[in-house]
Structure 1
Amino acid sequence: MALRLVYRSYGGENRKGRPEYFDKKACLYSFLRAAEQAPGEVELVFVNNGPIAEDRTELMRHAGTIVELPGVGVHASYASALDLAIDGRWPDTDVVWFSEDDYLYRPEAFAALARAAEEMPEADYLALYGSSPDAPHTQPDPSLHHPRTWTSLPPWRVGDQQWVRFYSTTATFGARIGRLRADRGIFSWCTVPHKNMFRDHDTCLVYQGFEPHSYRRLARDLVGGAPGTPREKFREAVMAPFLMATNLRAHRRAGNRRLLVGPSPNLATHVETGYIASGTDWAAVARAAREWGEPANIPA
């Protein structure tokens, strides 16, 4: 089993709230440092959406292969990365990791990911950051519908790390390539009604075979009973049929229901104020990543 790391970068910035220690170069350093510690065969591919700052691009050139996209939308960028992984270049038994460019990684993150993938063959998807009712100290804690048929599983011990069943993760996640290929349609479906949103929570629950939405709430929304302004009520009413159909997509045969697992505490974090994973001093991780990267200049 080889580990394929696909890093998606966007040249611009967004309006998300960020802690003072955030910058994309520190995130890239933390990714490269963690990749350096991963065992076995590791390949890095950088999918760059539009022009990327030259100092970061130079680091990417030394570390792996760059795929340039001509400033496409966020959905097209995501789809390009997913399709790259399942286009036949890599065996179905390999594990692919997709990373957005605003995540920090603990140094041992990819080594732990590779070991978990080896020791937990039943795991179809793996996360380093995400939510679980079995690990409520992680953030963000899911405030969405708790699936009626959700079943908790005993934790797995991999080395000195505990892994648990996750509700969901984000667009930064890992998958066995064969499973991702079989589930590709679910990832497309969950982006259908949105311009800049992935519905990650829905995606993860659907491929695991759990309905992500309450029918009672959807029925309320459909008849205009959602809270909020008239415009918000209208939006929820329009979305209700799509979300009902999303629930139906979760009705999968037992053999097609996937297992998503992740470490507790998280080994990576989305660097957005209010969504920082607990259990780690991420400011120290960012600082150490800069210290690791800047003097070394990342040798080829």
Structure 2
Amino acid sequence: MMMTNNQNKKYDLVICYRIYPNVSKVPPIFSENKLKLAELCLASFKNALNSIAFKLFVLLDSCPHSYSELFQKYFAEDELELITLQNAGNPGSFGKQTEVLLNQNLAEIVYFAEDDYFYLPNAFEKMINAFSKNPNFHFLSPYNHPDYKNLLLHNYNSDKIEIDTITWKTVSTTTMTFMTTKTILKDTLGTFLTYTRKNNDNSIWLALTKKQIFNPYLYFHYLIKNKTLFKALIKIWIYSPFQATFGKTYKLWVPNQTLATHMESNYLADDENWEYWFNLFRKKHNI
């Protein structure tokens, strides 16, 4: 996958990456230093883009200049466009991501990126290969969340397909880091923009994938056992009743062998030695 050296470049992927200068979760490393955490994640992100022709838009939400310099350290000028926001917050910066990705005409495949993900080598080549080879890939995440094994919410039959030695499976939810197309994003924009009105990621994905949302036992179970997930189920019907009832059912895919992890100590993808990878990138980039 090569980039041409003219004004009509062909891109495999356009990414909108949002970053905020505070630590929002409890990461497994650099819990008191967001800039170093951001650099570790960014170094892995750039490495994972090897062989991909991409354009990167960065939303710098209330970030000091050191964050702009960080992106300029890892990316060439023609790969990068920096956009400054002030106090946009999680909902506002996500809304801006949708705007940026829908208004660009550089690539059909788009990627929503958050600043607290660590990527394995060649992750994007594997994602794009899978996404391009199967029209039933509506959405894709690189993150095999440990909840898929542990929660009743994820007790369902998954479709599975093997592409280039990787087994992909359908799931009901993920975070707000994901791949899709401009066409699908436009079709589902109304559902995604409920995130800017205090809806949450689980509710959005459940309205789109519809896995288990008509199972009454699930509502009863979480009413008793987990109020947070019960509220997520109820929000489906507050924010997206038409999509949940009459809208298209979309397929969200993740790899059985993770390609990335959310940098949250309690929810690291459990099929990699993350300490090894963190140390490798720290040494390589002197972080």
Take 1:289 and 1:112, find their aligned partners in 2: how far apart are those partners?
Answer: 20
Aligned to 1:280: 272
Residue pair 1:163, 1:261 contacting (<8 A) in 2 also: yes
Residue pair 2:169, 2:254 contacting (<8 A) in 1 also: yes
Indicate how the Cα distance of structure 1 residues 142 and 90 shifts in structure 2: closer, same or farther if over 3 A, else same: farther
Indicate how the Cα distance of structure 1 residues 90 and 208 shifts in structure 2: closer, same or farther if over 3 A, else same: farther
Aligned to 2:208: 207
Residue pair 1:86, 1:177 contacting (<8 A) in 2 also: yes
Q: Which of the pair is proportionally richer in helix?
A: 2
Structure 1 residue ranges without an equivalent (≥5): 132-137, 296-300
Structure 2 residue ranges without an equivalent (≥5): 1-10, 32-36
What displacement does 1:74 show? 1.3
Residue pair 2:109, 2:181 contacting (<8 A) in 1 also: yes
Aligned to 2:42: 28
Indicate how the Cα distance of structure 1 residues 140 and 287 shifts in structure 2: closer, same or farther if over 3 A, else same: farther
Which SS does the other structure have where 2:267 is aligned?
A: coil
Take 2:142 and 2:261, find their aligned partners in 1: how far apart are those partners?
Answer: 8
Give 1:261-280 correspondences, 5 Å limit: 261-280=253-272
User: Are 1:252 and 2:252 an aligned pair?
Assistant: no
TM-score (norm 2): 0.79
User: Are 1:159 and 2:164 an aligned pair?
Assistant: yes
Indicate how the Cα distance of structure 1 residues 236 and 276 shifts in structure 2: closer, same or farther if over 3 A, else same: closer
Residue pair 1:213, 1:243 contacting (<8 A) in 2 also: no
Take 1:159 and 1:35, find their aligned partners in 2: how far apart are those partners?
Answer: 17
Take 2:12 and 2:20, find their aligned partners in 1: how far apart are those partners?
Answer: 26
Aligned to 1:74: 90
Residue pair 2:203, 2:232 contacting (<8 A) in 1 also: no
Which SS does the other structure have where 1:251 is aligned?
A: helix
Indicate how the Cα distance of structure 1 residues 105 and 220 shifts in structure 2: closer, same or farther if over 3 A, else same: closer
User: Are 1:121 and 2:113 an aligned pair?
Assistant: no
Take 2:266 and 2:258, find their aligned partners in 1: how far apart are those partners?
Answer: 15
**CA shift digits 1:151-206 (9 cap, x unpaired):** 532x21111211111221101111111101110111122553x3xxx522221221
Aligned to 1:51: 63
Residue pair 1:170, 1:200 contacting (<8 A) in 2 also: yes
Residue pair 1:130, 1:166 contacting (<8 A) in 2 also: no
Take 1:151 and 1:89, find their aligned partners in 2: how far apart are those partners?
Answer: 37
> Which residue identity is paired with 1:274?
N
What displacement does 1:141 show? 4.0
> Which residue identity is paired with 1:250?
A
Task: Count residues with an aligned counterpart.
Answer: 267
Residue pair 1:3, 1:43 contacting (<8 A) in 2 also: yes
How many percent of aligned residue pairs carry the same amino acid? 21
Indicate how the Cα distance of structure 1 residues 293 and 45 shifts in structure 2: closer, same or farther if over 3 A, else same: farther
What displacement does 1:3 show? 1.1
Take 1:47 and 1:124, find their aligned partners in 2: how far apart are those partners?
Answer: 25
Residue pair 2:91, 2:195 contacting (<8 A) in 1 also: no
Take 2:230 and 2:218, find their aligned partners in 1: how far apart are those partners?
Answer: 11
TM-score (norm 1): 0.76
Aligned to 1:298: none
Indicate how the Cα distance of structure 1 residues 283 and 219 shifts in structure 2: closer, same or farther if over 3 A, else same: closer
Aligned to 2:34: none
Residue pair 1:202, 1:212 contacting (<8 A) in 2 also: no
Residue pair 1:208, 1:259 contacting (<8 A) in 2 also: yes
Residue pair 1:168, 1:260 contacting (<8 A) in 2 also: yes
TM-align CA RMSD? 3.2
Residue pair 2:203, 2:235 contacting (<8 A) in 1 also: no
Residue pair 1:140, 1:277 contacting (<8 A) in 2 also: no
Take 1:191 and 1:283, find their aligned partners in 2: how far apart are those partners?
Answer: 35
Which SS does the other structure have where 2:253 is aligned?
A: strand
- Out of 105, 108, 114, the position equivalent to 2:122 is 108
Take 2:180 and 2:121, find their aligned partners in 1: how far apart are those partners?
Answer: 20
